[in-house]
Amino acid sequence: MTADQILAEIREANLSYLMLAQSLIRVDREQALYRLGVSEDTARLIGALTPAQMMKIAATNTLLCRFRMDDDIVWGLLTSHGKPAANESVNRLHASILMAGRHQEAA
């Protein structure tokens, strides 16, 4: 993949992310705050963006979204690496609880 192709993919991912985020925010603000891991102020800004503003922001060469799972515990729970499939739903629930707690700390 060339540098130009990577930048085009980043721009496409940015636009998709902004469109999804705005849709989530407009449908269910509280769920959006949790699922996106953004503050109320950020949600208010994203919710008010015009299509032209979203296109302009998406055109940057920096990825707007980021991974929220930044530690081994959450990654291990989400991937269920080395654990039986029966525990998968419990592991995902545990990971969701951990990430929800981190969302509350950030807010």
66: left (phi over 0), alpha (psi -120 to 50) or beta: beta
Domain segments of the chain: what residues? 1-66, 67-107
Per-residue pLDDT of 87-101, as tens digits, reads 666 666 656 666 666
CA angle 21, 24, 26 (to 5 degrees): 110
Rg (CA), the chain: 16
pLDDT tens per residue, range 44-63:
999 999 999 999 999 999 99
CA 103 to chain centre: 12
Residue 43's pLDDT band (cuts 50, 70, 90): very high
Query: H helices of 1-107, where?
Result: 3-27, 29-36, 40-48, 51-58, 72-79, 88-106
The domain over range 1-66 is classified in CATH as 1.10.4000.10: yes
